């Protein structure tokens, strides 16, 4: 990224850093944590994340519990990288990209 993150992006990244390894949240849950109702805005912040994987955007999935996108793609090598990162943390998906263990999904982002 050739620019500094916006205030909004920074708030998304700060909230996302509170999602522990081995857990995932949806774009909606992450948005709710910062008072943003736009999943698209959260997705754009994830796509622009200059701090990955330290700011773990791979821990954000779709509301239907599918793996979703990664680094601007929804298929291909980048999704396989997201799947690999999550599997190393103990979060697994079936061949269709569905979350296998609902216990990995947080109902909310942990507080500070």
Known catalytic residues are 57
DSSP E strand stretches across 57-106: 60-61
For residues 48, 52, 79 and 34, what is the CA-based torsion angle, rounded to 10 degrees? -60
> 69 phi and psi, to 5 degrees?
-95, 175
State how far the Cα of 34 lies from the Cα of 13, in Å rounded to an integer: 10
């Amino acid at each position: 990224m050739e620019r500094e993150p916006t205030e909004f992006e920074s708030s998304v990244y700060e909230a996302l850093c509170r999602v522990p390894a081995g857990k995932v949240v949806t774009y909606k849950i992450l948005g709710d944590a910062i008072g943003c109702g736009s999943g698209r805005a959260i997705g754009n912040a994830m796509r622009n994340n200059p701090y990955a994987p330290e700011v773990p955007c791979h821990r954000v999935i779709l509301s239907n519990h599918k793996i979703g996108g990664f680094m601007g793609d929804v298929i291909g090598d980048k999704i396989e990288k997201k799947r690999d990162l999550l599997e190393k943390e103990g979060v697994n998906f079936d061949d269709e990209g569905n979350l296998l263990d609902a216990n990995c999904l947080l109902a909310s982002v942990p507080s500070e």
